[in-house]
A and B are shown apart, each in its own frame.
Chain A
């Protein structure tokens, strides 16, 4: 290599590059470190452990999702890279009319926001009557990666010299031979880079996959995002670390071969890497026969594997679990039809939306004898009169979580979140209905109001509050509270209950003005195939011992009165899981507001945009 006259600039380039690698790998190092942290939350270091690796390796849901991600990523990479390379070559080899137009057609798909692509693909698959599953996920991943691959390969090909290929042809090489011997080596770096990037886009895709995945085709990002509601567990860090180690080993093997080392030297890292990547295929277990399968679509950390195993053993069936992270994802998928689930877990207002769209099956109460175990406070609510379509499973609240270290007296009113004394130490949920709801409640109004004057007042309160707010966050708020970055947080109780286990200095209160109650329910979609088994499952979760086990293992509030005496005393005493009885009377359900939903959305946009 010819050294330029400038060793100086060369050194600068080297330093910039080195710093860039540090920048790219800094969060990776954190992630690896956290995978060994004994504490469940990243807020503090609690000592080293290998527990999370063991937990990940024995969690069938995580393994299955990792396996699915690897399958989908590989398939999408092969198809997208091949199609994109072929298209780019067409531009290289030929001059034709409308070249600009064709190039634009192949590039434009990068323009569409992911969520729009996701919803449009769901519309397409519904129109075609395609069942959501692996095929739809792979097709969708191809759809959003082809253009990226095309742009990269095209950048390599632009302005290429045709001479070499022509020479090869002149020397009698056939088209295949001249492609393999001449063209491929020239474009190989671009094809490889494109493939790596497509795989990266595919294996990290959440938005598109959450719309088009069906029974048994959940990928790792779906697993990760659905875990957010219960706090992202370090198991994910452990899985990510293993994935990095495995790909690092494969990379090392490829590198050794490239350097001309013997295949035997490269065999060890290659075998180790492949072994790690192959492990989820062996450990996750294969699909069960469809006839005796219950397809459950539920929030993450809502039921323990051992509880499912009991049901499977009792009925001689297999329960297939897929996870979601928002009611809206559930609504979108059920509205499109063809989802294939037997039991779902919608929250209160979504039950109403689904019910009114005739998407839920009427429940046969004679098949649900244990429904009598449920406390009357959670039955016959307005979203589902007489519980004709749904049965309460868990319930929860939103309230104020606080750090006792920094906030002396427990806050009693929503006013604490609007108090200038806590400037820069306040967290609000990044959720239109909850944040506006807190402002409304503070002034003594219902969080379901449609009165424009009350909403205007709430807007002004929230705008005044904005300079006091450190961050709006509805995903890892408990971690931010735990780390000391904020002292007061509007919060949902489930994640706070888990944070309180790690740090006794965290408290949770339901303000005196009242706050939000939510009830998550089990229901059967109208197109469920295994209706009898679905009823059996719902009744199973209502049995006192089973409901107590679910509550004990998942630590959300159980509506099952018969289960309460069976719970450990410290769980009964946890104020985040079982708030004081007098507070319960002040809770209000969030209702679907129909047309007025748009008003809340605009109001929230105005506050965020100010």
Chain B
């Protein structure tokens, strides 16, 4: 028993030490910064004040936070709706010998710069772009595809989809076929066996995918800026601007902690219903 315990500690240690030194310690430094003040030249004057948090709770910034949460929710649902069928096909229907290659092909585009791929989307979507030229070639009317909410969501879906497909795939791929057979033998139709067997069995994958899509979407700024035309502020732009333009690190740090606390609060609220769903 003691040996097992030692083994568990040994397995956890590298990850925890890495994150302790490279994430939690720096975050602590940031927390200290967030209690300080911006100096006239963009440095940090240390203090113990909650003024930055007070400022972050201004309705202007809360509206932006709310809008970002909405964008992240919609992105997550969109990715789930597109990603689940794809992951299901890859994991259950694709010939087994092709699976690894097909999965790698999902990730391969992400080895080129996101910025460059966003520029490529502009070439596809702009008024004289590839899509519109194809539309008018087919005798269809041209569409306004760029610099609107549609373009933002398209960019978000594009940027986050693999982060949904991969965890779904790894949990669908291990799904035991005998469970499905048993369900069929017991007279369950396809829909019922999907809802009552497949979904509950792959909940860990769904949860992981949603976490990996939802959280980064909260901080999104490239797709809203480049494809959306930068006409709407999201929390990602706002935090970015504090560090990279206004050089107001204390306020940027405070905004970031407000964002992190929002996410943690959402998880605490959602934990119960999720656990309940898993128990069903």
Instruction: Enumerate chain A interface residues (CB-CB to B < 8 A).
Output: 1-2, 4-6, 9-10, 12-14, 16-17, 20-21, 23-28, 30-31, 34, 42, 79, 82-84, 86-87, 89-90, 93-94, 96, 102, 105-121, 123-124, 127, 139-140, 142-143, 146-148, 150-156, 158-160, 175, 186, 189-190, 192-194, 196-197, 199-200, 203-204, 206, 220-221, 224-225, 228, 232, 236-237, 240, 243-244, 247-248, 251, 254-255, 258-259, 326, 328-329, 331-332, 335, 353, 356-357, 430-432, 466, 469-473, 475-476, 479-480, 483-485, 592, 594-595, 597-598, 600-602, 604-606, 608-609
A13 cross-chain contacts in B, Cβ below 8 A: 85-86, 88-89, 93
Which of A146, A203, A206 counts the most chain B CB atoms within 10 A? A146
A192 cross-chain contacts in B, Cβ below 8 A: 100
Residue in contact with B248 in the complex, picked from A480, A598, A604, CB distance below 8 Å? A598
Could you tell me if B26 and A117 are in contact, using CB atoms closer than 8 angstroms? yes
8 Å CB interface, B228-276 against A: 229-233, 235-249, 251-253, 256, 259-260, 263-264
Give the Cβ gap from B146 to chain A, nearest Cβ, in Å.
Answer: 7
- Given A109-B19, A196-B107, A606-B60, the answer on whether A102 and B245 have CB atoms closer than 8 Å is no
Give the Cβ gap from B205 to chain A, nearest Cβ, in Å.
Answer: 5
- Binary contact track B173-213/A, C-beta < 8 Å → 1, others 0: 11001001100100000100000000001001101110110
Q: Which residue of A lies closest to B82 (CB)?
A: A20
A28 cross-chain contacts in B, Cβ below 8 A: 109, 112, 117, 120
Could you tell me if B18 and A94 are in contact, using CB atoms closer than 8 angstroms? no
A17 cross-chain contacts in B, Cβ below 8 A: 85-86, 89-90, 94
Give the Cβ gap from A213 to chain B, nearest Cβ, in Å.
Answer: 16
Could you tell me if B112 and A204 are in contact, using CB atoms closer than 8 angstroms? yes
Could you tell me if A601 and B171 are in contact, using CB atoms closer than 8 angstroms? no
Could you tell me if A113 and B239 are in contact, using CB atoms closer than 8 angstroms? yes
- Given A240-B112, A485-B127, the answer on whether A94 and B5 have CB atoms closer than 8 Å is yes
Could you tell me if A200 and B110 are in contact, using CB atoms closer than 8 angstroms? yes
Give the Cβ gap from B21 to chain A, nearest Cβ, in Å.
Answer: 8
Instruction: Tell me the bound Cα distance from A353 to B166 in angstroms.
Output: 46
Could you tell me if A113 and B219 are in contact, using CB atoms closer than 8 angstroms? yes
Could you tell me if B116 and A232 are in contact, using CB atoms closer than 8 angstroms? yes
Judged by a CB distance under 8 angstroms, whether B135 is at the interface is no
Could you tell me if B116 and A31 are in contact, using CB atoms closer than 8 angstroms? yes
Give the Cβ gap from A305 to chain B, nearest Cβ, in Å.
Answer: 22
Instruction: Tell me the bound Cα distance from A328 to B128 in angstroms.
Output: 35
Residue in contact with A220 in the complex, picked from B63, B113, B123, B204, CB distance below 8 Å? B113
Could you tell me if A27 and B18 are in contact, using CB atoms closer than 8 angstroms? no
Could you tell me if A83 and B14 are in contact, using CB atoms closer than 8 angstroms? yes
Could you tell me if B82 and A115 are in contact, using CB atoms closer than 8 angstroms? no
Residue in contact with B204 in the complex, picked from A6, A110, A158, A328, CB distance below 8 Å? A158
A258 cross-chain contacts in B, Cβ below 8 A: 97, 100-101
Instruction: Please name the 4 residue pairs, one residue from A and one from B, whose CB atoms are nearest each other, closest first.
Output: A120-B26, A471-B229, A27-B120, A472-B230
Could you tell me if A25 and B11 are in contact, using CB atoms closer than 8 angstroms? no
Could you tell me if A193 and B119 are in contact, using CB atoms closer than 8 angstroms? no
Q: Is the interface of A mostly helix, strand, loop or mixed?
A: helix
Give the Cβ gap from B80 to chain A, nearest Cβ, in Å.
Answer: 13
A476 cross-chain contacts in B, Cβ below 8 A: 119, 122, 226
Give the Cβ gap from B147 to chain A, nearest Cβ, in Å.
Answer: 5
A193 cross-chain contacts in B, Cβ below 8 A: 103, 107, 166, 169-170
Give the Cβ gap from B57 to chain A, nearest Cβ, in Å.
Answer: 14
Could you tell me if A115 and B252 are in contact, using CB atoms closer than 8 angstroms? yes
B9 cross-chain contacts in A, Cβ below 8 A: 90
Instruction: Tell me the bound Cα distance from A17 to B249 in angstroms.
Output: 44
- Binary contact track B15-58/A, C-beta < 8 Å → 1, others 0: 11011011111110110010000101111000000000000000
Could you tell me if A10 and B252 are in contact, using CB atoms closer than 8 angstroms? no
Could you tell me if A96 and B5 are in contact, using CB atoms closer than 8 angstroms? yes
Judged by a CB distance under 8 angstroms, whether B74 is at the interface is no
A42 cross-chain contacts in B, Cβ below 8 A: 119, 122-123
Residue in contact with A119 in the complex, picked from B30, B115, B204, CB distance below 8 Å? B30
Could you tell me if A247 and B108 are in contact, using CB atoms closer than 8 angstroms? yes
- Binary contact track B60-103/A, C-beta < 8 Å → 1, others 0: 11011000000000000000001001101110011011011101
Give the Cβ gap from A106 to chain B, nearest Cβ, in Å.
Answer: 6
Could you tell me if B241 and A237 are in contact, using CB atoms closer than 8 angstroms? no
- Given A119-B30, A471-B229, the answer on whether A353 and B42 have CB atoms closer than 8 Å is yes
- Given A20-B82, A24-B109, A87-B11, the answer on whether A111 and B260 have CB atoms closer than 8 Å is yes
Instruction: Tell me the bound Cα distance from A42 to B121 in angstroms.
Output: 11
Could you tell me if B245 and A16 are in contact, using CB atoms closer than 8 angstroms? no
A472 cross-chain contacts in B, Cβ below 8 A: 225, 229-231
A158 cross-chain contacts in B, Cβ below 8 A: 171, 204
Instruction: Tell me the bound Cα distance from A93 to B11 in angstroms.
Output: 10
- Given A148-B212, A151-B208, A190-B170, the answer on whether A94 and B233 have CB atoms closer than 8 Å is no
Could you tell me if B130 and A30 are in contact, using CB atoms closer than 8 angstroms? yes
Could you tell me if B117 and A243 are in contact, using CB atoms closer than 8 angstroms? no
Give the Cβ gap from A39 to chain B, nearest Cβ, in Å.
Answer: 12
Could you tell me if A353 and B226 are in contact, using CB atoms closer than 8 angstroms? no
Give the Cβ gap from B275 to chain A, nearest Cβ, in Å.
Answer: 10
Could you tell me if B229 and A353 are in contact, using CB atoms closer than 8 angstroms? no
A143 cross-chain contacts in B, Cβ below 8 A: 18-19, 22-23, 26
B107 cross-chain contacts in A, Cβ below 8 A: 193, 196-197, 200
Residue in contact with A10 in the complex, picked from B82, B93, B209, B247, CB distance below 8 Å? B93
Could you tell me if B243 and A119 are in contact, using CB atoms closer than 8 angstroms? yes
Could you tell me if A116 and B243 are in contact, using CB atoms closer than 8 angstroms? yes
Q: Which residue of B lies closest to A84 (CB)?
A: B15
A108 cross-chain contacts in B, Cβ below 8 A: 260, 264
Judged by a CB distance under 8 angstroms, whether B8 is at the interface is yes
A152 cross-chain contacts in B, Cβ below 8 A: 166-167, 170, 208, 212
Instruction: Tell me the bound Cα distance from A160 to B242 in angstroms.
Output: 45
Could you tell me if A156 and B170 are in contact, using CB atoms closer than 8 angstroms? yes
Instruction: Tell me the bound Cα distance from A473 to B229 in angstroms.
Output: 7
